[in-house]
Amino acid sequence: MLKHVMVLLMFVNLLIGMGAALYLHFLAKIYHYAFLRHLTLYTIFMNIGILEFLFIQYIQLNIPGSWLASAPPPLGEISDLISFLLISGMLFCLFLVARDFLDRPRIPRLWAWILGWSVFLMLAQVAKSMLPAGWLQRAAAFMMDDVIDSIVILEVAILAALLILSRRSPTPEMGRLARTFGLLYLSRYLAVLALMALLDIPRAVWLSLALAAFIYANLVPFIWARIFFTRFVNSGFKAQDLQQRLDFLAEKFAVSKRELEILELMLEGRNNKEIEERLFISYHTVKNHVSSLYRKLGVKNRYQLIHLLTREPM
C-alpha cells in the first residue's frame, strides 16, 4: 500500500516538474536568455528520470518477479544505463547554464576537467552494461558502485564554481542572479544530506521526507524564476527612464491614469489581489484594467509586458 501511495505522489511531482519545464520554456521564448533554454533542458532531463522511476515501480508492483528475472535483456541494467545518460545530460546542461551566466564562450580548464570526467563515467557505465563478462566489465562495475555519488559531487562542484566565479559575470545584476541560482540549487543537496543523517527513523517517515525533497527540487525552478529572475528583469528599469517610457506609452496607446497606476504596481511584481488592496478597487475592476492594458499594448501576459518596457525601443 505504501509503495502505491509513493508512486501516486511521485506522479504528482512529475506534473509539478512538467509545469516547471513549461514555465521556463515560456520565459526563454520571451527573454531569449541562453541559460533559460539550458535550464529548461535540465528540468526536462530530471523529470524524464522521474518518469523512468515511475515506470520501473509500476512494473515491479504489477508484473511477477519471475518474469522480470527471465526477461531479456535485464531490465535493471537498461534502467541503470538510461538513468546514467539522463543524469549526464543534466550535468552537461547545468554546465551550460553556468557558462551562460559567466558569458564565456570558451571552456575554462576546470570545466574541461569536469566535462571530461563525466564522459569517462558515461563510457564506464556503457562498459558495465554492454560488454561481456570479464576484467573490463568487473573494473567498470567496481568503479560504477559510486558513480551516482561522483556525478552529484560534479554537480555540486559546478554550482560551487559558479558561486566563486559569479563576480566575473558581465554585469553586477547578472552576478547576483547567478549567485541566487547557485545557492538555491545547492540547497537541494542540503535536503539530501539531511535525509542521509536521518536513516534511523521509520521507513515510512523517511520515504515521506525523501518525496518532499524531490518535490522541493522541482519547485526550485519556480522559486528562482518567479522571485529572483523577475527581480533581475525589473532591475533593468533602473538603467532607463521608466517614467519617460510610461508617459510615452500613455500618449501612444491612450493609457488612462488609473491604468498607469496599475501598470506601475504590476512592474513591482504585485498580483491582481495585491493591486486590489493597494488601490481600494474591486478585483473585477483590476482584471478589466489589466485586460484593457494588454489589449492596448498588444501583449498577452505580464512577461510580454515587461519585455515591452525593458527590451523594445520606444
Range(s) of the domain holding residue 246: 240-310
Measured distance CA(136)–CA(150) in Å, rounded? 20
Measured distance CA(181)–CA(277) in Å, rounded? 32
Please check whether residues 175 and 48 belong to one and the same domain: yes
Please check whether residues 169 and 303 belong to one and the same domain: no
Q: What are phi and psi of 105, to 5 degrees?
A: -70, -30
Q: How many domains does the chain have?
A: 2
> What CATH number corresponds to the domain at position 37?
1.20.1070
> What CATH number corresponds to the domain at position 247?
1.10.10.10
What string of pLDDT tens digits covers the 314 residues of the chain? 556 666 677 788 888 989 999 999 988 877 778 899 999 999 999 889 888 877 776 776 666 555 555 554 555 566 667 777 788 788 888 988 988 888 765 555 555 665 666 666 656 655 555 555 555 445 445 444 555 556 677 788 888 888 988 888 777 888 899 999 999 999 988 876 776 666 666 766 766 777 777 888 889 999 999 889 988 876 655 545 567 777 887 888 888 889 988 988 887 767 888 899 899 999 999 999 999 998 988 888 776 776 677 655 55
By CB neighbour count within 10 A (0-12 exposed, 13-18 middle, 19+ buried), where does 250 fall?
Answer: middle
Q: Give the number of other CB atoms < 10 A from CB of residue 10.
A: 17
Q: Indicate the residue type of 197.
A: A
Q: Indicate the residue type of 190.
A: L
